[in-house]
Structure 1
Amino acid sequence: MSSSSALETGLRRGRLGTVHLVFFTVAASAPLTVVGGGITTMYAVSGNVGAALSYVVLAAILAVFAVGYAAMSRFVSNAGAFYSYIANGLGRAGGVSGSFLALASYNAIQIGLYGLFGAIFGEFMATKFGVDQQWWVWALVGLAVVGLLGVLQVDLNATVLAVLLILECLAVVVFDVVSVGNPAGGSVSFAGLDPGNLFAAGLGAVLALGIASFTGFESGAIYSEEVRDPRRTVARATYVAVAFTGAFYAFSAWALTVVTGPENAQAAAIEAGPGVVFGTLAEYSGSTVADLANVLFITSVLAALLSFHNGVARYLFALGRERVLPAFLSQTGVRTGAPVAGSLAQTVLALGVVLAFVLADRHPVLDLFTWLSGVSAVGVVLLMTLTSASVVGFFRRSPAAEVSTWQRLVAPALATVLLSAVLVVLLVNFDALLAPGNPSYLAWLLPSVTLVAALLGLGWGLLLRANRPAVYEAVGRGAADPEPAVEDTELTLTR
């Protein structure tokens, strides 16, 4: 008889390639969810006819960000991604602050999606099968599925995401084709792509909602320890994700204005919401196609839930490994290489927040989904801003001959400025992300969640520097094991 460790503290390396990472990053932004929910809301809130072009503008800004981000990924390979980038570029206390900010941001969007999932799945089951249950019942079903997949091997998760992503993208393509093929008034209008229409009333709301649609594109670096070629794979996946989602969302947003007519886009979105998309499919492609698209809308949200869950689990893994958080969070499955402890911790947290909203009798979409999505959008933009500044700081201290001036200085400095501008616009127009009837104080209270998280992280980082210098010195370094801890005791199984 022999014994072996059931849990390890290292992720399984060499399991993922560029295609895997593209699926993870694009699935996190949930294309069908963006088209069916985000784009229709954008038109309803802003009334901006040129909103489609905003995706091109934002994709360009994010592409500039990706230059420095990808360059630094060659030298910093850590499941903590933003956390480790900031620690290596702006200092360890700043890195801990960034880690808390990242956890707040990605947990917010992941948990908020359970509200959307429960609502749309519940409506579908009631309409098609007569099974009428409270939204939270379906939300808990989704939570159980995501929690199970989270502790399985990451290859399986990539396969699940790939299938769901391909199918939902096909549904969006069908919508785009039938929309352009059936233009309102009999002729195709390009008003939705006119820059003059974008830079008009409602621009702030358009940018605020648009940047939220891209959340998740930057998550490739989270898997940098599990890819086959970390010096190239993360960069390639990030560029592909930005280019694909930017073009895809821009075309789909424009297609919506074609089928409704630019002057009618806002009214149609206010009246029907996601029904603009599914109603168009039903009218021109038949009810079967519309029903299938509805199912894919549900699986689109599920795919995003799974992708964000995986990201949060890896952040927790990285922080546990470096003892910034309890060491047990660094435990991974010996057979799967998945961050089991981090995955279970995220599932428990999500369960607690969902149940809190249930007990408070809050609406799953207008409250749980909308509030937490807004929190996440602010946090992620702030993280990207700090990360761009970190790239400049990192290469000043550690020059690399193979990295050009454009990659190490010009692009990240420009990205810092551009993202700071987007952040200001997002904060000023945060009320555009709130549903009608929400208290006005939420416009400042919700964004402050990210600030509080960052300040708590900064304070914790300073405490680590004063009281646990070995841990502090290892912040952002990755696989270092700064100090033994009782939490490291391995669990064993006898075979």
Structure 2
Amino acid sequence: MSTGYSRRSSAVPPRAAGTVGEGSTGGGERALFAGRLGTAGLLLSVLAATAPLMVVAGVMPTTFGVMGVVGQPLLFVLLGVVLALFSFGYAELSRHVHNAGAFYAYIARGLGGTAGSSAALVALVAYSALQSGVYGIFGYEVSGLFATYLDTRVAWWIPALAAVAAVGVLGWLKVDVNARLLGALLLAEVLVVVVFDVSALAHPGGGGLSLRAFDPRTLSGTGVGTALCFCVAGFLGFEQAPVYSEETRHSQIVVARVMFLAVGCVAVFFAFSSWALTVAAGPAQIVPAARRESAGLLFSLATAGLGGTFTDVLHVLFVTGIFASTLSFHNVVARYAFAMGRERLLPRFFARTRSASGAPAAGSLLQSVVSGVVVGAFALHDDGPAGDPTAPVLHLFTWMANVGALGVLLLMAVASLAVIVFFVRRGAGRAQLGRLVASGVAGAALLVIVGFTVRDFDVLVGSGPGSGLTWLLPGIIGAAAVAGLVQGLVLRSVRPQVYTRIGLSNQAFQLERVADLVGDI
């Protein structure tokens, strides 16, 4: 694909081409280290964001209890199909556009710089909200561990802020070091859930090994749309693979491979685990049990089937899994900020990386500050008795997680359209027809889910239909989209040289270096 400029052009001396450390992908202080991740490292990094144990222990019981939908396992299968269709076009586009800005770069290359600018700000806000929100449930769980095992009361915001600091430090390390840590924590989570699943199938509750949860007739009623919104949150993370494209070996192959592996693994794992919950409790009892136990459902079933020691291990790994999720989202936000700084959608400062690790240090610092401010704001307004630890779960986690999920779903829907336009404009519509049809179907399905999410936002955040939160919280994503559009329009009018580089990744940086050199001459 022609870019109008070759990195090997004699116009740029070798130093300007950028080799900060071995295998960097940019120039000078604006370089991510290339070739640090392979298939396994990238897969583990993106899957860690899904927080498997948090989904099994939190999302699934909530969906069973609040929505009363027994067919949750079938929903995971159906969503897996939709997201696989999305991945056909999204992954193909990742072969043509290599950019740590992922969503916004793809949208810019397909729909233009103004749309790309809007998508950039939505992505930054959405992923920041997701990460900040997870600190709430982390603080809640750690506070509970202190109370249960050490008989010590610790306000939720203390471990939450400690996690912000720890994640901030880890965000400055090499990406492959983070991948190894994320992989270890993820595999531990998956292992204990699989042990529970096998135990549940070996000792089923009332109804035996019933397959009722996969019966399409269970997906009827008014709660199915909202249940889709809950379940799709379990998949968030797979779409992050292209964010690491500049740091991945053989990215044209590996990124696409990881996306399909991630969607398949998540769909199968969550469908199987949610089915195991229905088997352990009994298909006829899963909804009342979930309403009675809420987020304690998994732990009570585990205690009954595997004993208290195993449940203690579950609690600990639940916390470490949440920590892994925060680190995964932190890395993504840092790279979005890096890409935006490199293309001047944010101040140039955010394009800085650490020379020792190639990590996007300024972007990492930005996310740490944002998370610290958000956690601190909720801590100051915690009106529970003596810092009631339920406040971060009911407010910080629930509100921010749903705002973030809405933003990512919207980006996925728009990216589906961008895929179609990108290939059609380049005369590849016929050659890519199958992928374009898949993108169209996936985009339409994602827009339906976005509609359900906005319509049922009161249920998702537990605010009630008359609450101002039902429009204020989704309005955060709307405001980010509008602000990004305005920024794009201003850049197109006032700074066209910056506007034309939106979505060009490292090519934008190299073009800037050429301009600087020419100016010096």
Aligned to 2:393: 365
SS at structure 1 position matched to 2:382: coil
Aligned to 2:158: 137
SS at structure 1 position matched to 2:285: helix
Aligned to 2:62: 41
Alpha-carbon offset, residue 422 of structure 1:
1.5
Alpha-carbon offset, residue 368 of structure 1:
0.3
| Preserved CA contact (<8 Å) 1:71 1:403 | no
Q: Is structure 2 residue 467 aligned with structure 1 residue 440?
A: yes
Q: Is structure 2 residue 437 aligned with structure 1 residue 420?
A: no
| Preserved CA contact (<8 Å) 1:278 1:290 | yes
Aligned to 2:417: 389
Give the unaligned 5+ runs of structure 1.
Answer: 485-495
For residues 231-246 of structure 1, the aligned pairs below 5 Å read 231-246=252-267
Q: Which amino acid aligns with 1:355?
A: G
Aligned to 1:458: 485
Q: Which amino acid aligns with 2:160?
A: A
CA RMSD of the aligned region, Å? 1.8
Alpha-carbon offset, residue 438 of structure 1:
9.1
Alpha-carbon offset, residue 439 of structure 1:
6.4
Alpha-carbon offset, residue 193 of structure 1:
1.2
Aligned to 2:366: 345
Aligned-partner Cα distance in 2 for 1:402–1:439: 49
Match of 2:243 among 214, 219, 222: 222
Match of 1:380 among 390, 405, 408: 408
Aligned-partner Cα distance in 1 for 2:368–2:47: 22
| Preserved CA contact (<8 Å) 1:48 1:201 | no
Aligned-partner Cα distance in 2 for 1:300–1:375: 21
| Preserved CA contact (<8 Å) 1:470 1:483 | no
| Preserved CA contact (<8 Å) 1:82 1:387 | yes
Q: Is structure 2 residue 357 aligned with structure 1 residue 336?
A: yes
Q: Which amino acid aligns with 1:456?
A: A
Q: Is structure 2 residue 292 aligned with structure 1 residue 271?
A: yes
> Which segment is superposed worse, 371-380 or 398-407?
398-407
Aligned-partner Cα distance in 1 for 2:499–2:463: 45
Aligned to 1:487: none
What count of residue pairs does the alignment treat as equivalent?
480
TM-score (norm: length of structure 1): 0.94
Q: Which amino acid aligns with 1:229?
A: H
For residues 138-217 of structure 1, the aligned pairs below 5 Å read 138-185=159-206, 187-217=208-238
For residues 73-152 of structure 1, the aligned pairs below 5 Å read 73-152=94-173
Aligned-partner Cα distance in 1 for 2:200–2:431: 45
Alpha-carbon offset, residue 159 of structure 1:
0.4
Aligned to 1:247: 268
Aligned-partner Cα distance in 1 for 2:310–2:495: 59
Q: Which amino acid aligns with 2:502?
A: V
Alpha-carbon offset, residue 410 of structure 1:
1.3
| Preserved CA contact (<8 Å) 2:208 2:282 | no
Q: Which amino acid aligns with 2:91?
A: A
SS at structure 2 position matched to 1:389: helix
| Preserved CA contact (<8 Å) 2:207 2:283 | no
> Which segment is superposed worse, 5-14 or 416-425?
5-14
Aligned-partner Cα distance in 1 for 2:35–2:429: 27
Task: Tell me the alpha carbon deviations over residues 245-271 of structure 1, each in whole angstroms, 9 at most, x when there is no partner.
Answer: 011111111111111122222221122
| Preserved CA contact (<8 Å) 2:106 2:419 | yes
Alpha-carbon offset, residue 400 of structure 1:
4.8
SS at structure 2 position matched to 1:151: coil
Aligned-partner Cα distance in 1 for 2:207–2:104: 52
Q: Which amino acid aligns with 2:135?
A: Y
% identity of equivalent residues: 45
Alpha-carbon offset, residue 33 of structure 1:
0.5
Alpha-carbon offset, residue 387 of structure 1:
0.4
> Which segment is superposed worse, 121-130 or 174-183?
174-183
Alpha-carbon offset, residue 483 of structure 1:
4.6
Q: Which amino acid aligns with 1:196?
A: R
Q: Is structure 2 residue 457 aligned with structure 1 residue 430?
A: yes
Alpha-carbon offset, residue 162 of structure 1:
0.4
Alpha-carbon offset, residue 5 of structure 1:
8.1
| Preserved CA contact (<8 Å) 1:56 1:246 | yes
Alpha-carbon offset, residue 417 of structure 1:
1.3
Q: Which amino acid aligns with 2:359?
A: A
Aligned to 1:404: 432
Alpha-carbon offset, residue 403 of structure 1:
5.3
Alpha-carbon offset, residue 444 of structure 1:
2.0
Alpha-carbon offset, residue 81 of structure 1:
0.2
| Preserved CA contact (<8 Å) 1:45 1:205 | no
Change (3 A) 1:162 1:402: farther
Aligned to 1:489: none
Q: Which amino acid aligns with 2:111?
A: L
SS at structure 2 position matched to 1:184: coil
SS at structure 1 position matched to 2:375: helix
Task: Tell me the alpha carbon deviations over residues 312-366 of structure 1, each in whole angstroms, 9 at most, x when there is no partner.
Answer: 0000000000111100101111111111110011000110111111112261000
> Which segment is superposed worse, 413-422 or 149-158?
413-422
Q: Which amino acid aligns with 2:361?
A: V
Match of 2:277 among 212, 237, 256: 256
Aligned to 2:78: 57
Q: Which amino acid aligns with 2:403?
A: V
> Which segment is superposed worse, 78-87 or 260-269?
260-269
Aligned to 1:299: 320
Q: Which amino acid aligns with 2:397?
A: F
Task: Tell me the alpha carbon deviations over residues 150-177 of structure 1, each in whole angstroms, 9 at most, x when there is no partner.
Answer: 0111111000000000000011111111
Q: Which amino acid aligns with 1:358?
A: A
> Which segment is superposed worse, 307-316 or 462-471?
462-471
Aligned-partner Cα distance in 2 for 1:244–1:347: 30
Q: Which amino acid aligns with 1:19?
A: A
Aligned to 1:490: none
Aligned-partner Cα distance in 1 for 2:393–2:92: 38
Aligned-partner Cα distance in 1 for 2:492–2:207: 67
Alpha-carbon offset, residue 416 of structure 1:
1.6
